[in-house]
Structure 1
Amino acid sequence: FRAGLYTSPHLVSYLERIRIGKAPVTKKDFAAVLSLIREMIGDLISEKKLLSPPTHFEILTCMAFLYFSWKKVDIAVLEVGMGGRFDATNVVTPLVSVITTISSEHQKFLGKTLREISLEKAGIIKPGIPVVCGVKSRPSFKTIKERAEELEAPFYGVFAHPAYFKVYTNTDGYSFEFATPEAKYSFTPALLGEHQGKNAAIAIAASEQLNKAWKKLEKDKIIKGIETASWPGRLEKINQSPFVILDGAHNEEGAIALRHYIQKVAASPIILIFAVMRDKKIKDLADILFPLFDVVLLTRFPYYRAAEPEDIKKKAQKYIDKIIVEPDPNLAMRIAIEKATLRGTVVVAGSLFLVGEIKKYWKKNQSK
């Protein structure tokens, strides 16, 4: 199959956001699609069919749709940008809707409570379209299930029966078993961390819904996909000595998953390079992550929403003895490598934008 993929944000290049298979859109095609969209926007505004220009994300979403149409993809996976109900991707009628998790973020836009956030996420549910739900929190699960029932959308709770999902620990990490009404799956994800087994179970459940609504997907190929998948910036190992891990954890759920992984595998001294968006729950993230580390390097990335290192420091005063402020992420990385020594661990976390900056730095310096 020719499968399209639309995700955000990117790590290094905008081209990463729109892919077919593993291949990102080319610069030539990106420019061609953007030029056409730009022309159409101008025409629609002049004809007063559009009152104002679309947002940045709306333009990228239109570009992805157009590009996938040009390339005649068989199927496409669309990642919601934020929330669901009012997201630009929500104009489609999908084969299956997938809600992975619910956490307390983007509360300024999605609501202050988990129920309000859950309702926004449930906004992607369409009448009669199957819903795969990986949410474990009972109140959020209940909210999403009730919305599916209102729209007569078949509902599948991936973890509704805990006995169907089993975790096994081994010397190399984790392996998993997941039983559905259709089959039993045993797999060891290529992606690191216990939480990736849960993500894989959600993907399996979605695949089984596609079996009914689209085309038959062979079980062995589903497992092969899980065991060979790569996802840059999510517990991505880029060096062995010192052990260097990049992770875009930027909310409490992601930080907890990262903490669990670091507790199991990291060798001392353990150094954290941390930067974050200023609208995140900085104090809560600090309380989850900072106690694990011998040194915490606070930095920033070039984006208008990035928190200043000094502001992060003010919200993490209880860890002042281990904090070093270095606004330049490249210099922060050099300091971290030096302090970790060959036997230690360096973790880069807090934002995918920070991960992207470090990936660019690492590629540049490895090529020297």
Structure 2
Amino acid sequence: MTYEQSLAYLENLSKFGINLGMSRIERLLELMQQPQRRFKSIHVTGTNGKGSTTAMLSAILTASGIKTGMYTSPHLVDYPERMIVNGQEITKDEFAQAIDYTSQFVEQMLAAGFEQPTEFEVITAAAFYYFAAVGVEYAVIEVGLGGLLDSTNVIVPEIAAITNVTLEHTDRCGSTIAEIAYHKAGIIKEGVPVVTAAKGEALDFIKRTAAEKNALVYSKDENFSSEFKGFNNGKQQVAFDAGVLGQFETDLNLIGCHQLENSAIAVTTALILGKNDNRITIKAIQQALTTVRWPGRFEIIAGEPVIVIDGAHNPDGARVLRQNLDQVFPGREITFALGILRDKDVSGIIRELIRPIDTVVTVQPLSYRAATPEEIAREIEAHHVEAASAIDSGIDRAKELAGPNGVVCVAGSLYLIGEARQIILNK
């Protein structure tokens, strides 16, 4: 396959949608000789922050001199963003080869009468094949959706990380915190340590599940903590305390109060691994956190006006984004370019994110699931609200309304910020 042919192949698979379950991925990987067993892994789930945590862990292992793979989803612009080794994306030719290789086993499945694997299952299997083929020692694997029935849950990791548990994907993972926690805790394996910042009912459920599987739980504020100390040259200064595992301060290149929690999970996970691997040191952790990047998550782009890009796509993420905006730009009015998917909690996102003094330009993310700009605008009560006909014109209008000394925030969906980021950086 060429890269274009691999994209067409995946596009054809996308019509099968999301179909949670383990039987198809287990059979596919069995035919592929279990590539996921040829490297060590760390498994990361959570309602918010799992991508940032995955990026930080991958950076820490890479800075430790360990050949490290990173698997995340969705991509912002191109599929190769999902498969990274030592900070470098898979090439388009390598991506096509991995999809082509995997497709041969999909055909074997279908010929034997098995159900068609989904797009995400094929990409996941291809990622495992690629990581095994290039000889990574560790791979940090981000869950796609939930955990228990997610395609990535075929791995038996060294450590499982559960960032937090709030309501999301209620149509697939349940309508209560307990039901969501059931799916997140589904990545816990027998004897595998768990690091989490979950709280309340969700933490109780995670602890019970871990106890049933003889797994130690490291809980934020019980076993580890992080504290904001100030800003230094555009980075956060953070103090970490993981008890007997270690205490230190460092600069963190990812901005926002939510990254204090995410980085604490990444640091604690790395320190646990470091107990049995002397390559993983505090110096390597500091080096990684000072330089780590995670595009599109409270990403600040300097200019006139300043632009913030953030993929907040649920009420909890919107609440954290608002806290970050108020902390980093205190007293400033914010002009939003806002686009949300119709199947998300549109009113909840707006309630947490938008203030009466704000200005909002609504746009439509690049997804068949997107709410129209007019639908979103009708939900908003703010100083000024208008709908834009396209993402680029919507961003231009938001910049115009903000003025050169203002702040523009592009938010609401990961399907929006990839396109928006390209538009902003290419102007």
Q: TM-score range by the shorter chain?
A: over 0.9
TM-score by length of 1: 0.93
Which residue, out of 189, 211, 220, partners 1:126?
189
Cα drift, residue 175 of structure 1: 2.2
1:192-271 matches, within 5 Å, as: 192-212=255-275, 216-266=279-329, 268-271=332-335
Cα drift, residue 239 of structure 1: 2.5
Structure 1 unaligned segments of length 5 or more: list them.
none
- Once superposed, which parts of structure 1, at least 4 consecutive aligned residues long, lie more than 3 Å away? 169-174, 212-216
Q: 1:153 to 1:213 in 2, by over 3 A?
A: farther
1:40-189 matches, within 5 Å, as: 40-48=105-113, 51-135=114-198, 137-160=199-222, 164-170=225-231, 174-180=236-242, 181-189=244-252
- Check the 8 A contact 1:268/1:340 in 2, yes or no: no
AA partner of residue 71 (structure 1): V
Q: 1:213 to 1:84 in 2, by over 3 A?
A: farther
Q: Deviations over 1:103-128 (max 9, x none)?
A: 11101101100111011100000001
Match of residue 79 from structure 2: 14
- Check the 8 A contact 2:310/2:411 in 1, yes or no: yes
SS in 2 for 1:306: coil
Match of residue 336 from structure 1: 398
AA partner of residue 396 (structure 2): R
AA partner of residue 96 (structure 1): I
1-structure distance, mates of 2:416, 2:200: 33
- Check the 8 A contact 1:268/1:343 in 2, yes or no: no
Match of residue 343 from structure 2: 279
Q: 1:214 to 1:121 in 2, by over 3 A?
A: farther
SS in 2 for 1:207: helix
- Check the 8 A contact 2:75/2:81 in 1, yes or no: yes
SS in 2 for 1:188: strand
Match of residue 350 from structure 1: 412
Matched, 1:327 2:392: no
Identity %, equivalent residues: 33
Q: Deviations over 1:143-189 (max 9, x none)?
A: 10110001101111122268x43332357564222211221021221
Cα drift, residue 270 of structure 1: 2.3
Cα drift, residue 40 of structure 1: 1.2
Match of residue 53 from structure 2: none
Which residue, out of 58, 77, 90, partners 1:25?
90
- Check the 8 A contact 1:81/1:87 in 2, yes or no: yes
Cα drift, residue 81 of structure 1: 0.4
TM-score by length of 2: 0.81
AA partner of residue 41 (structure 1): V
Q: Deviations over 1:43-95 (max 9, x none)?
A: 221123xx221111111100110000110001000000010000000001111
AA partner of residue 37 (structure 1): T
Pick 1 or 2: higher relative contact order, CA cutoff 8 A, min separation 6: 2
- Check the 8 A contact 1:269/1:345 in 2, yes or no: yes
1-structure distance, mates of 2:235, 2:152: 35
Cα drift, residue 202 of structure 1: 0.5
2-structure distance, mates of 1:283, 1:47: 46
Structure 2 unaligned segments of length 5 or more: list them.
1-65
1-structure distance, mates of 2:206, 2:389: 41
1-structure distance, mates of 2:101, 2:250: 44
2-structure distance, mates of 1:176, 1:74: 29
SS in 1 for 2:117: coil
Q: Deviations over 1:223-265 (max 9, x none)?
A: 1111111110011112332111100011122112211121123
Which residue, out of 354, 361, 365, partners 1:297?
361
- Check the 8 A contact 1:175/1:197 in 2, yes or no: no
2-structure distance, mates of 1:116, 1:189: 34
Q: 1:89 to 1:215 in 2, by over 3 A?
A: farther
